[in-house]
Amino acid sequence: MKLLIHDLNEKEWKKVADNYDGWDVIYNNGAITPCVGCFGCWIKEPGQCVIKDGYEDTCVKIHKAEQVTIISKYTYGGFSSFVKNVIDRSIGYVAPFFELHKGEMHHKQRYDEYKQIRFIFRGPTITEDDKVKARRYVEAVCTNFHALLWEISFDECEMPEYENKKKYEGPVDECKKILLNCSMRGDKANSKKFLEQLSTDLKGDVEIVNLSEYTNRLGQLANIIAGAGTIVLGMPLYVDGVPSAPLRLMEFLEYLDLPDEKKIYLVANMGFYESIQIKNMLSMIKSWCATCGFKYCGGIAIGAGEMTGPLVALGGKGKGPGKNAAEGLGRIANAINADTVVEDIFADAHNFPRSLYMMMGNMSWRKKARKNKVRRRALMRQLD
């Protein structure tokens, strides 16, 4: 069977439904939950998501499909928040263990196959530059999933739901700085640790806010963000892009149409070693800023976040693998304090070899699984 993942509304779906007769279809029924970053799909129930909301078996559906087609609204260079949600919840399709693939750190295959994926991006005005960004992004997604980019196409169409934006007319405190922890891990997130390190050097009115506490109150969070002059997004990298939960917020803020030129900084971190892999997410945040009329003021991309996160405070004292991250965060803090723009910073682990990081990562998956009474061989289990 072929698999379709789409974000079309009912009216749009009716126009094309006949083309997908007999396909397995994953669509938005309004009940999808964002990935919470628990890695349960690797260390609790290997090969499927542990959140039981009807979208838990997308990894298995991808495996069973002879071909996969993804239809998505073109959103800042990547997928819409719904499609991204499905993709984030599908990482159990690959195995937790690390290997070098195309010269970079990636996950091992769970299934011995190279799935063909076709991507169709839809939107009212997709420029040539947008097309380049989308291609670069889906190439990265395919590399991550050991899939083959079968085809990419662009469908220019009206998007009526994005007309008639709501205008924010509340007060704005230009001096207020909101550090938004966009990780659904909340207080346990590496993003939070990096933001806390950043805050040690920041002057003035600074508040750290967890997105995870506002998932069902986006309007309230939007007002907090709208009322501040500077926003620092603390963002984990999920499947080469923005995780679905902050992406949903970003779509919402675009819809809100904030009036002033807000200053946006990015503190991004990732599981793999090479911080350069964050480049697509940096580009997405820049596209979002341009769409919303915000001023992108610079960011830091931090590699090996699962190690540098817990060690970044020590890095602030000039020691350990988190040293580069801490120094970069210091530069971001200086830029925020001086109200200036800083060039994007790429911070890999300081004096820590990639091979050792990968070896430690592979050992930690086995250890975590053991705690859940999942045997070593079960981590690679294949579901049919």
Ligand X SMILES: Cc1cc2nc3c(=O)[nH]c(=O)nc-3n(C[C@H](O)[C@H](O)[C@H](O)COP(=O)(O)O)c2cc1C
By the criterion CB under 6 A, which residues form the site for ligand X? 35, 37, 88, 91, 144, 183, 185, 189-191, 236-240, 269-272, 277, 305-306, 309
Q: CB count, 10 Å around CB of 120?
A: 17
Q: What angle do CA 79, 82, 85 make, to 5 degrees?
A: 90
Q: How far is the CB of 107 from ligand X (least distance, A)?
A: 9
CB-wise, 281 or 292, nearer to ligand X?
Answer: 281
Q: How far is the CB of 35 from ligand X (least distance, A)?
A: 5
Q: CB count, 10 Å around CB of 297?
A: 21
Q: How far is the CB of 7 from ligand X (least distance, A)?
A: 18
Q: How far is CA 89 from CA 24, 37, 40, 213, 219, in A?
A: 17, 9, 10, 20, 25
Q: How far is the CB of 138 from ligand X (least distance, A)?
A: 13
Q: How far is the CB of 326 from ligand X (least distance, A)?
A: 16
Q: How far is CA 216 from CA 177, 224, 306, in A?
A: 23, 15, 27
CB-wise, 107 or 177, nearer to ligand X?
Answer: 107
CB-wise, 229 or 234, nearer to ligand X?
Answer: 234
- In this structure, are residues 94 and 29 in contact, taking their beta carbons and an 8 Å threshold? no
CB-wise, 190 or 287, nearer to ligand X?
Answer: 190
Residues linked to residue 116 through DSSP beta bridges, in sequence order: 148
Q: How far is the CB of 361 from ligand X (least distance, A)?
A: 10
Cα(251)–Cα(81) distance, integer angstroms: 8
CB-wise, 123 or 309, nearer to ligand X?
Answer: 309
Cα(192)–Cα(333) distance, integer angstroms: 15
CB-wise, 67 or 364, nearer to ligand X?
Answer: 364
Q: What angle do CA 108, 194, 215 make, to 5 degrees?
A: 80
